[in-house]
């Protein structure tokens, strides 16, 4: 961020956000999530000591969009890579950026144990209830009845089971300092998401253990509806299935003004 405050500038690109065109589809909320993370890194002055871990899925190229050092993990293994980095670089800020296919399906073991060990890393978990990169297949987070290319008649819970609520599950583990769910469907919730991301990185800074922010996100392309309808879909269908809330907030974070 510029140190000279220009009263004419009310909005600018965060220093942590690379000045480049992204590959995300129009209306996708990944861009919003990226910007919020970048703003937090700027505000906390963390950019120069941060190492990000990208995952597999639409967020695979997230490493191109942040101006910090990055590595790119195998599918689901970002929390394990983050563990390895943090253990040898304990003074550095380490975060992963993962989608729901990556984190809830193939990477379930890695994220659970990273949280259980209380690794001082931050996980940004973007939940859009679908596999985006591979073209819209059913994820463990897909809503019952939701049509995807691998559940063409709608997700049948009799044969494919039920959505998994990660923020709640993670919050049950003693190694966790911060586990919340937020949504990116409107301005008010975007602001709340930003605050949550800030607290997650504050938790890491303070050595309070594993921190995770689950962000309910849209995927207009694979949901097959417009960007605006997608935001409404989050509000009307995602939030009832994935209630927003603080599931674990370590004591030192509670009174923190951010």
Partner 1 sequence: MAKELLKGNNAIAEAAVRAGVEAYFGYPITPQTELLEHMAVRMPELGRAFVQAESEVAAINMVYGAACTGKRVMTTSSSPGISLMMEGLSYIAGTEVPVVLVDVMRGGPGLGNIAPSQGDYHQIVHGGGHGDYRPIVLAPASVQEAIDMTAEAFDLAEKYRALVVVLGDGSIGQMMEPAELPPMQPLKTDVPEWAVTGAKGRERRLLTSIYLEPEKEEKVNIRLLERWMQIKKEEVRYKEYYLDDAEYVVIGFGTAGRVALSAVRAARAEGIKVGLFRPISLNPFPTKQIKRLADFAQSLLVVEMNSGQMLDDVALAVQGRVPLEFYGRMGGVVPFPDEILAEIRRLATVPPAETNGLVRERWLERLAIYNAGDINVNHN
Q: Work out which of 28, 41, 51, 234 binds partner 1, going by CB under 8 A.
A: 51
Q: Work out which of 15, 42, 74, 206 binds partner 1, going by CB under 8 A.
A: 74
* Cα gap 210→204, rounded to integer Å: 7
Min dist CB 205 to partner 1, Å, is 14
70 binds partner 1 (CB under 8 A): yes
* Cα gap 43→196, rounded to integer Å: 14
Which pair of tokens denotes residue 180?
A: 């919340």
Q: Work out which of 12, 13, 87, 156 binds partner 1, going by CB under 8 A.
A: 87
R_g over Cα of the chain? 17
Report the phi/psi class of residue 118: left, alpha or beta, with left for phi > 0 and alpha for psi in -120 to 50: left
* Cα gap 95→70, rounded to integer Å: 10
Instruction: Return the number of the residue (28 or 53) whose C-beta is nearest partner 1.
Output: 53
Instruction: Return the number of the residue (33 or 81) whose C-beta is nearest partner 1.
Output: 81
Q: Work out which of 4, 9, 21, 88 binds partner 1, going by CB under 8 A.
A: 88
10 binds partner 1 (CB under 8 A): no
Q: Work out which of 25, 71, 239, 241 binds partner 1, going by CB under 8 A.
A: 71
Report the phi/psi class of residue 161: left, alpha or beta, with left for phi > 0 and alpha for psi in -120 to 50: left
238 binds partner 1 (CB under 8 A): no
Min dist CB 69 to partner 1, Å, is 4
* Cα gap 96→70, rounded to integer Å: 10
List of residues 6+ apart from 82 with CB closer than 8 A: 53, 94, 95, 96, 114, 119, 121, 123
Task: HSE, CB side, 13 Å, CA atoms: give it for residue 248.
Answer: 25
34 binds partner 1 (CB under 8 A): no
50 binds partner 1 (CB under 8 A): yes
85 binds partner 1 (CB under 8 A): yes
Residues in contact with partner 1, shown as a per-residue x/- string from 98 to 117 under the rule CB under 8 A:
-----------xx-xx---x
Q: Under DSSP, is residue 144 helix (H, G, I), strand (E, B) or coil?
A: coil
22 binds partner 1 (CB under 8 A): no
Number of residues that bind partner 1 (CB under 8 A): 35
**Sites of contact with partner 1 (CB under 8 A):** 47-51, 53-54, 60, 63-64, 66-74, 77, 80-85, 87-89, 92, 109-110, 112-113, 117
């Amino acid at each position: 961020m510029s140190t000279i405050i220009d009263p004419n500038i009310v909005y600018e690109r965060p220093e942590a956000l690379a000045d480049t065109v992204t590959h995300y589809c129009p209306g996708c909320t990944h861009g919003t999530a990226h910007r919020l993370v970048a703003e937090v890194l700027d505000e906390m002055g963390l950019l120069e000591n941060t190492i990000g871990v990208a995952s597999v899925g639409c967020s695979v190229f997230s490493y191109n969009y942040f101006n910090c050092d990055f590595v790119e993990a195998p599918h689901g293994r970002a929390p394990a890579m983050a563990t390895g980095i943090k253990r040898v670089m304990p003074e550095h800020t380490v975060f992963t950026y993962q989608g729901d296919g990556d984190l809830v399906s193939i990477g379930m073991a890695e994220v659970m144990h990273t949280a259980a060990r209380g690794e001082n890393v931050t996980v940004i978990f973007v939940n859009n209830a679908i596999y985006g990169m591979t073209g819209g297949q059913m994820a463990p987070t897909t809503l019952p009845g939701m049509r995807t290319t691998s559940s063409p008649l709608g997700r049948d819970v009799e044969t494919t089971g039920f959505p998994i609520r990660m923020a709640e599950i993670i919050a049950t583990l003693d190694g966790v300092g911060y586990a919340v769910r937020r949504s990116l469907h409107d301005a008010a919730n975007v602001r709340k998401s930003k605050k949550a991301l800030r607290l997650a990185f504050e938790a890491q800074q303070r050595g309070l253990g594993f921190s995770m922010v689950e962000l309910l996100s849209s995927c207009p392309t694979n949901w097959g509806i417009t960007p605006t309808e997608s935001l409404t879909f989050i509000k009307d269908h995602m939030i009832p299935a994935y209630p927003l809330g603080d599931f674990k907030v370590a004591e030192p974070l509670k009174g923190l003004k951010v």
